Amino acid sequence: MTISVKGLVKYYGNKEVLKGVSLTAERGAVTAVLGPNGAGKTTTIRIIMTLIFPTKGEVSILGQDPFRHKKVFRKVGYVQELPNLPQFLTGRELLRMSSKIKGASKEDVDRVLKIVGMEENADKKIAKYSKGMTQRIAIAEALLGDPEVLVMDEPNIGTDPVLNYNMRETLKEMKKEGKTILMTTHVLEDVKKVADKVYLLYQGKVFFEGTPEDLVKKFLGVVVITEASNVEVAERSLKELDYVRGFKVEGNKLVIRLSEDRREELLHYLVTSGVGIRSFYLDQELEEAYITALKEAEKVDRENSNL
């Protein structure tokens, strides 16, 4: 594993904001850390990036303790939440300074500017940039030196759909190249499209760990979408199945929630019942699963605090 965090505990005064967070991020994968505001996502990232000292616990990046071996950051790119960059520099000046610090080449500055589409605005002062442009330069800066590890704290704040798309494509490329990406985000679309692993933090604790599919399966069950030519027959048939947790009809489309993964059995049943199946596919209602998971987390937390 490239990033490993074990048993992170962080107190601010008497307040325990992290209660033993452990997570890992592997090579060639995007690991997303989700959770509501105040869950401890940014605190975890800031500890990994050595901005905050943990009260207890260990952090390792590429097998090294970043608090003792800052040189490891030559191989790490970081996009901070709402990047605060030196306003008096131009985008290009910032990237040049950073490339010197990271030991990246001058040519790399042009490469990263191209990735984020900032070639034309690179010579303007950062003070004159819009929020989105600042974010682009911050992302470009993180990509300098072709880092092995990319850590991003809510990188989508202030970005437009084109940059989001380019960013996702860049992440996919980086995954293929065997890079490690750890990100916190509230944008579930990104999680659905690029994340391989998800950690759900709630009140400073990891409440869930697994793939995005696992998140949906655990908190929503298996959701399939099917288009049928005879919806009424389909409705009648579905009511007879004990493993169908529920379903809703949207025109010819049926969204069916299963309590366990018995998709093949369902498909066979619907076909033999004469429903007239036109399409049948697994759906990942990540947003709904996320909200359900949070409600569950809140319930568990309440129960624990009542004990």
Partner 1 sequence: MIEKIVTYEIKRAVARKKVITIIGITLLFEVGVYVALSQVKTPRIETILGPISSLLWLVGVLLPQSLLLHFITISISSGALSEEYEQGTVDFFLTKPITRLQFLTGKYLGGFLLVTLVYAFMVFLSLMLSELLFGSQIDLGYLPALFLSVEFSSLTFFSIAFMIGEVLRRSSLAFLISSTVLIGSILIGTVLEFVSRLTGSSIFTSIAIALPAWGAVELPYIYAQGIPNASLIVQALEIFPAISGTEIEAIAYVVLYSGVSTVLAFVSFLNRDIPKRVS
Binding site for partner 1 (CB under 8 A): 42, 46, 49-53, 70-74, 76, 78, 80-89, 97-98, 100-103
CB neighbourhood size of 21 (10 A): 26
- For 83-104, b/e burial (b = at least 16 CB within 10 A) is bebeeebbbbbbbbebbeebeb
Residue 15 or 176 having the CB closest to partner 1: 15
Shortest distance (Å) from residue 70 CB to partner 1: 5
Shortest distance (Å) from residue 102 CB to partner 1: 6
Residue 21 or 254 having the CB closest to partner 1: 21
Q: Decide: 231 and 252 in contact? Cβ < 8 Å.
A: yes
CB neighbourhood size of 243 (10 A): 13
Residue 118 or 238 having the CB closest to partner 1: 118
Shortest distance (Å) from residue 4 CB to partner 1: 18
Please state, in angstroms and rounded to a whole number, the distance separating the CA atoms of residues 15 and 197.
Answer: 29
| Helix H or strand E encompassing 223 | strand 222-228
Residue 10 or 217 having the CB closest to partner 1: 10
Residue 144 or 194 having the CB closest to partner 1: 144
Please state, in angstroms and rounded to a whole number, the distance separating the CA atoms of residues 113 and 213.
Answer: 34
| Helix H or strand E encompassing 48 | helix 41-48
CA dihedral 194, 199, 200, 201 (to 10 degrees): -130
Q: Which of 177, 149, 179, 178 is CA-nearest to residue 59?
A: 149
Shortest distance (Å) from residue 154 CB to partner 1: 12
- Fill in the amino acid letter for 55: T
Residue 145 or 212 having the CB closest to partner 1: 145
Residue 81 or 196 having the CB closest to partner 1: 81
Q: Which residue has the tokens 């959770």?
A: 35
Shortest distance (Å) from residue 171 CB to partner 1: 19
Shortest distance (Å) from residue 28 CB to partner 1: 23
Shortest distance (Å) from residue 133 CB to partner 1: 16
- Fill in the amino acid letter for 28: G
